[in-house]
Amino acid sequence: MEGGGRWTVFGVSSVVSLHTHPLVCTTPSTNDEQADESQQLCHNARWQGEMSTAVGEKRSADAPADGQPDAKSMQKAEARAAFMEVFAKLKAELLSEEPIVSQPEIARVWMERMMQYNVPWGKLNRGMAVKESLRAIEQSGQGTTADKAFQADVLGWCIEWLQAFFLVADDMMDGSLTRRGQDCWYKVKDVGMVAINDCILLEAHIYAILKTHFRKEPYYLELLELFHEVTYQTSTGQMLDLITAPIGTVDLSRYTMEAYMRIVTYKTAYYTFYLPVACAMHMAGIKDDAAFETTRSICLKMGQFFQIQDDYLDCYGDPEVIGKVGTDIEDNKCSWLVVQALIVATEEQKRVLENHYGKSDGESVAKVKQLYRDLAIEGKYEDYEQRTYGELVDEINKQKHLPKAVFEQLLAKIYKRQK
């Protein structure tokens, strides 16, 4: 789900080209000490590049276009830069508090390196959505104070920490090699299975942050329950994904629409769309159960829409735009495309899928893609996209619990997206 331009570092003494995040770090050194030094330099450059990018985006936004400043771009760049500053503060807090502050220096160094490597990357859409949602909710009142805006960003980073926890674990379960343009954490030379404990630490950080910043708030218990609940829901979605499409086993009889929708709802929709809005609702003092039910219904449908888009883009998206070459076919993913194909395929066409789906050779991938063309799967997606967008717009307009802008700004980010 993460795209964008790439930086590349070749070898130890290479020049880092400061373009756009993420940074691809490769250290083909024959000397372990040199490799460690190269990896650290590469990662430091990546962090500095992220901060420089935020500043650069703001400067670009400040520059007038046809005599007029690009207010929207400027606002986006300023919001991202402010959000990144909150991460630095939270990281420093965790390193200066118990239990890490009284541990040997080697523990503090590891913790800082682990957080820096895994947390502050990606698009950050989930985390930044908390403050955006809160401001939309409070637009008719006194507005969001600076203190509440900061707290919203803190909650946003709790979601990004949760995302990091999920991704580090997911990469080990899938046997992945790279994530966000760098080696998966467990693939880093001196990490390995220590990453299992690091997953536990990343999740524990969430509750340390919540305790520090929200224990005196009247909605503290609600936040604790919300994060525990969403973690449980996402874990069950991951479980269903793993047992439906286990690595090395292709059993297309398991690829049903019911199984697919349960996977994407629990694995993606809850923490990507519902969690940020629910956090903002608690901050705004909303207690109405019906408001949360309506929000859950709309956000889950939006999350399903988002994941189905991802599946479509994996096959039909432009790799130059989405930032990766799609591999769902080779990886035997329980994708919306293959589920749709199985629904309408003849027995002969199903045999083509059985013989070629989940295989990495180019001929097999080409045969599956040709079958998708024969079955007009792309057209089925376009029909789904228009129908679902219309349904979401109707639901947003009919609900009376929250300002429409809360949902409209989320929908605007994903409708007709190209990456």
Half-sphere exposure of 152 (CA within 13 A, CB side): 28
To the query of whether residue 36 is one of the catalytic residues in this protein, the response is no
Q: Distance between CA atoms of 271 and 1, rounded to whole angstroms? A: 14
Pair 168, 154: CB distance under 8 Å: no
Q: Distance between CA atoms of 326 and 336, rounded to whole angstroms? A: 14
To the query of whether residue 91 is one of the catalytic residues in this protein, the response is no
To the query of whether residue 251 is one of the catalytic residues in this protein, the response is no
To the query of whether residue 165 is one of the catalytic residues in this protein, the response is yes
User: Residue 205, exposed/middle/buried by CB under 10 A (0-12, 13-18, 19+)?
Assistant: buried
Question: Residue 292: which H helix or E strand, with range?
Answer: helix 289-316
**Residue-by-residue DSSP string for 370-413:** HHHHHTTHHHHHHHHHHHHHHHHHHHHHH--SS-HHHHHHHHHH
Task: Find the catalytic residue in 153, 183, 198, 310.
Answer: 310
To the query of whether residue 318 is one of the catalytic residues in this protein, the response is no
β-partners of residue 7 are 23
To the query of whether residue 350 is one of the catalytic residues in this protein, the response is no
To the query of whether residue 179 is one of the catalytic residues in this protein, the response is yes
Handedness of CA 328, 334, 339, 342 (dihedral sign): positive
Task: Find the catalytic residue in 76, 123, 254, 262.
Answer: 123
Q: How far are the Cα atoms of 62, 175, 176, 273, 352 from residue 72, in angstroms, in the given order?
A: 10, 40, 37, 22, 49
- Tokens 């899938």 map to which residue? 174
Task: Find the catalytic residue in 174, 190, 288, 394.
Answer: 174
Q: Cα 241 to the chain's mean position, in Å?
A: 17
Task: Find the catalytic residue in 87, 91, 135, 165.
Answer: 165
Q: Cα 414 to the chain's mean position, in Å?
A: 13
To the query of whether residue 310 is one of the catalytic residues in this protein, the response is yes
- Tokens 């771009």 map to which residue? 73
Q: Distance between CA atoms of 212 and 231, rounded to whole angstroms? A: 20
Task: Find the catalytic residue in 170, 359, 369, 404.
Answer: 170
To the query of whether residue 174 is one of the catalytic residues in this protein, the response is yes
Task: Find the catalytic residue in 83, 87, 166, 306.
Answer: 306
Q: How far are the Cα atoms of 175, 251, 332, 336 from residue 248, in angstroms, in the given order?
A: 11, 10, 8, 20
Task: Find the catalytic residue in 153, 171, 311, 328.
Answer: 311
Residue 370: how many CB atoms within 10 A of its CB? 12
Q: Distance between CA atoms of 381 and 384, rounded to whole angstroms? A: 5
Q: Distance between CA atoms of 73 and 69, rounded to whole angstroms? A: 9
Residue 146: how many CB atoms within 10 A of its CB? 7
To the query of whether residue 292 is one of the catalytic residues in this protein, the response is no
For residue 15, give the DSSP letter: P
- The contacts of residue 114 (CB under 8 Å, 6+ apart) are 185, 198, 201, 202
Known catalytic residues are 123, 165, 170, 174, 179, 241, 267, 306, 310-311
